[in-house]
Amino acid sequence: MAKAFVGSNPTPCTTKMREKFKGCLLGTAVGDALGSSRGEFSGRWTDDTHMMMGLAQSLVERGGFDGEHLAWTFLRNYEREPWRGYAHGPPTVFSLLRDGVPWNEASRHLFGGRGSYGNGAAMRVAPVGLLYHDDPVRLREVAEAQSLLTHAHELGREGAVLQARAVSLALLAPPPSSFDPFDFLEELEGFTSHPVYLEKLGRVRRMLEEGGRRERVVRELGNGVEAHRSVPTALCSFLLHFGSFKEALLYAVGLGGDTDTIGAMTGALSGAYHGEGGIPEEWRERVERREELEALADDLWRLKAQKGRGGG
């Protein structure tokens, strides 16, 4: 049984919380853009941020999770900007939706009926971690349901659940002076019973103890497009460098591999922890559609303030 890392009491929607909601969404975009930049930071982000925004838009418009609405929001956004670097899975689901396959069945057709274990459901899940941060049971339900739309495989789904829970913990975590990354890990270990992720979380613990040499982290945790080879990696990047958004991000993208997505997930965690003010101004001011991201974070925060515990 994990000891309490943060209070599980309802958290008032304070100004600081509002700043953290913005930090989380902007952090995703900045991490995605940094990871996909070749050379100088361009501020241009990819499918990770595009889908994260779709999820936030749908939650705000429907006042909570609505699978059908979310499916058509993803599809509409994809059809407007298909060039964002989507992998093969989501567009396949979108054409099945257009053919009339129900939103919660289409993803089961992928990968010979096994479903996808790509990191696509985890890379976009941050808004769920924010909206349901004080209700872990509902958080799990919604993180899984939004995954099912594109990622039916249990590894893809559980990766998204863990990333959402990690976002909620980062939001509520104590300041760096009293932050203990091992308590954070223990909390996550108490939240999953999946053997693959439990094993990976044990490896994250060892990487923290050993100091996080990059080659070793890549060997032990991975840096690929699979959820189980990238969600623990992003978590490790955040926990190794919880004192600085910039250091966590530079470390994460320096691991190579699926840099935009490991950057996006690390950015979501670090941004939720430090808030918008923790993101270097030179990145914040150049990130694409900054005002839209901030407005979306505000809408999500207002929805949370209105709904109270659970978030709908």
Q: Are 54 and 34 in contact (CB under 8 A)?
A: no
3-state secondary structure 103-117: CCCHHHHCHHHCCCC
CB of 260 to Mg ion, least distance (A): 4
In this chain, which of 31, 54, 90, 222 binds ligand F2R, going by CB under 6 A?
Answer: 90
Size of the site for Mg ion (CB under 5 A): 3
Q: For residues 21 and 26, what is the distance between their CA atoms, to the nearest angstrom?
A: 9
CB of 223 to ligand F2R, least distance (A): 11
In this chain, which of 23, 27, 54, 118 binds ligand F2R, going by CB under 6 A?
Answer: 118
Tokens of 175: 């300041």
For position 88 contacting ligand F2R by CB under 6 A, the verdict is yes
In this chain, which of 80, 98, 114, 214 binds ligand F2R, going by CB under 6 A?
Answer: 114
226 binds, among Mg ion, ligand F2R, none (CB under 5 to 8 A by kind): ligand F2R
Binding mask 44-73 for ligand F2R (x = CB under 6 A): --xxx-------------------------
Q: Which CB sits closer to ligand F2R, 29 or 225?
A: 225
Tokens of 64: 């909570």
Helix (H, G, I), strand (E, B) or coil at 152: coil
Instruction: State the DSSP string of 196-244.
Output: HHHHHHHHHHHHHHHT--HHHHHHHH--SSBGGGTHHHHHHHHHHTTT-
For position 258 contacting Mg ion by CB under 5 A, the verdict is yes
Q: For residues 106 and 112, what is the distance between their CA atoms, to the nearest angstrom?
A: 12
Buried b (16+ CB within 10 A) or exposed e, 167-187: bbbbbbbeeeeebebebbbbb
Among positions 27-46, residues that touch ligand F2R (CB under 6 A) are 46
43 binds, among ligand F2R, Mg ion, none (CB under 5 to 8 A by kind): none
90 binds, among ligand F2R, Mg ion, none (CB under 5 to 8 A by kind): ligand F2R
CB of 234 to Mg ion, least distance (A): 11
In this chain, which of 97, 260, 276, 279 binds Mg ion, going by CB under 5 A?
Answer: 260
Contacts of 9 (CB under 8 A, 6+ apart): 134
Between the alpha carbon of residue 27 and those of residues 153, 260, 264, the distances in Å are: 27, 12, 7
Q: CB under 6 A: which stretch of 131-139, 205-213, 253-261, 268-276 binds ligand F2R?
A: 253-261
Q: CB under 6 A: which stretch of 23-31, 112-120, 213-221, 243-251 binds ligand F2R?
A: 112-120
For residue 261, give the H/E element and its range.
helix 259-274
Q: CB under 6 A: which stretch of 65-73, 82-90, 161-169, 240-248 binds ligand F2R?
A: 82-90
Buried b (16+ CB within 10 A) or exposed e, 137-151: ebbbebbbbbbbbbb
Q: For residues 68 and 103, what is the distance between their CA atoms, to the nearest angstrom?
A: 6
For position 117 contacting ligand F2R by CB under 6 A, the verdict is yes
The residues of the shown chain that bind ligand F2R, judged by CB under 6 A, are 46-48, 85, 87-90, 111, 114, 116-120, 123, 153, 225-226, 258, 260-261
